[in-house]
Structure 1
């Protein structure tokens, strides 16, 4: 996607971005698209595992803040937007079998089953709008790349078969911007809230910031510190560790763009 196309999509409504994903005119990351609209991570599991995964999300609200849960077999989420089709409206998906990534398709129509339950999970792209409005630079937005994400040594709270490490997203910030970012993101608990760590990445088990587990590396300048937020890709690290027989997720950075507005999620 060219820079011009990115600017064009930033100014489009959420349903137009979904329509472009559905027709394969959008297959890349959704950061910065449909400005003002809430984006969501996606995890889709068989009904037999849904109650355990629901409890996992409830026990790990920083990483997995739930926005909506579907009925079994339902591929729409009416509370998040009119006409949403979870099988086609994300730019790219991941299909998992026994914890192994087996495919990254642009739709999951042929993978869909009547027993699947979908979980829409809040995404940090939503609070980024508030950070940018305060004049805080977000390096991955400046570069037009995907936010860097890392598996940590911080454990999640297990539920049933689901357990594994916390994944975090990282944004390099100057100290004064980091303080302001904490204040701002605390107001958005449904999209990960305040950071879980800042400073030395080794303290949470990250050995090399230049090699993210997901997304793209960004430079850290001498006057900046890395700031880490709990990330909605955490279910993917948990799926790899817990090895359910079947699962569908979004590809990191390739989100469901909903009709909710970011300001609706702010806590005053």
Structure 2
């Protein structure tokens, strides 16, 4: 059995420091659970406004939490000490749409013309779902939610476009109903599901073949697949646009912010602990 972490796993600044030092390399869905986490997308400044427009046209998949100034790896509005070059735990570097590297930090890749975007992530509402009594089997089993490319087209902007990517959670029927009522209160984290049930109805042929090749993909007999819009939609759009350079977070290693989840809910009453 591995030793427990020697830092405060509920403190976002402590988590970022542990990532920066190399002390923590795990998935971020089990740390800083009271704080907002986000998808990272970094593009050259010449494409930044088009990407922002793409986000605005597809807000369920790409809810914008923060945008950096050109050349700055900081977004003070989401975390004062955050350095996007070192604090994410893993990165994916794409050139002309092709994955060329998966480094632990991107200081050597960083350029003065890069603009970083942080987009809402469904990891942020998973702690809320659990507090409301929803069982998330992928967390119980030490995994993450799987992602899939659908047959649903997003609204294009400039060079950005393509299909919607979704995340899937295997839920029992009663949990699926509760997950809908809870998640719809969090549009900053993708809101309510886009689909429940037969994957083929949204263009997913095989749950075993997830986007990125990770996550819980097998259902139990009493579970339904529940699909939420996913920020990985941006990664796929940037790849298909064949940008000369695009940098994203590595799968399941999200941007950990200082924003409290309690402060982002549309209805604060949904943050209360589940009572019998």
With the shorter chain as reference, the TM-score category is over 0.9
The reply on whether 1:205 has 2:187 as its aligned counterpart is no
- Indicate how the Cα distance of structure 1 residues 103 and 183 shifts in structure 2: closer, same or farther if over 3 A, else same: same
Note the aligned Cα RMSD (angstroms).
1.5
Q: CA deviation at 1:11?
A: 3.7
- Indicate how the Cα distance of structure 1 residues 98 and 72 shifts in structure 2: closer, same or farther if over 3 A, else same: same
CA distance in 1, matches of 2:72, 2:86: 13
The reply on whether 1:241 has 2:240 as its aligned counterpart is yes
1:165-209 CA distance string (max 9 Å, x none) = 111000011111111111000000011000000100011111111
Corresponding residue for residue 271 of structure 2: none
> Quick one: which of 148, 151, 171 aligns to 1:150?
148
Alignment map for 1:125-204 (pairs within 5 Å): 125-204=123-202
CA distance in 2, matches of 1:83, 1:169: 29
Secondary structure in 2 matching 1:110: coil
> Quick one: which of 30, 33, 51 aligns to 1:32?
30
- Indicate how the Cα distance of structure 1 residues 3 and 141 shifts in structure 2: closer, same or farther if over 3 A, else same: farther
Decide whether the 8 Å contact of 1:211 with 1:217 is kept in 2.
Answer: no
Taking structure 1 as the reference length, the TM-score comes to 0.96
Q: CA deviation at 1:35?
A: 2.0
Give the unaligned 5+ runs of structure 1. Answer: none
Secondary structure in 1 matching 2:108: helix
What count of residue pairs does the alignment treat as equivalent? 266
Corresponding residue for residue 228 of structure 1: 227
> Quick one: which of 94, 99, 102 aligns to 2:100?
102
Flag as ranges the 4+ runs of structure 1 deviating above 4 A: none
The reply on whether 1:254 has 2:240 as its aligned counterpart is no
CA distance in 2, matches of 1:228, 1:248: 25
Decide whether the 8 Å contact of 1:209 with 1:217 is kept in 2.
Answer: no
Decide whether the 8 Å contact of 2:166 with 2:230 is kept in 1.
Answer: yes
CA distance in 1, matches of 2:9, 2:250: 23
Q: CA deviation at 1:4?
A: 3.4
CA distance in 1, matches of 2:8, 2:16: 13
CA distance in 1, matches of 2:2, 2:215: 17
Secondary structure in 2 matching 1:216: coil
Decide whether the 8 Å contact of 2:42 with 2:248 is kept in 1.
Answer: yes
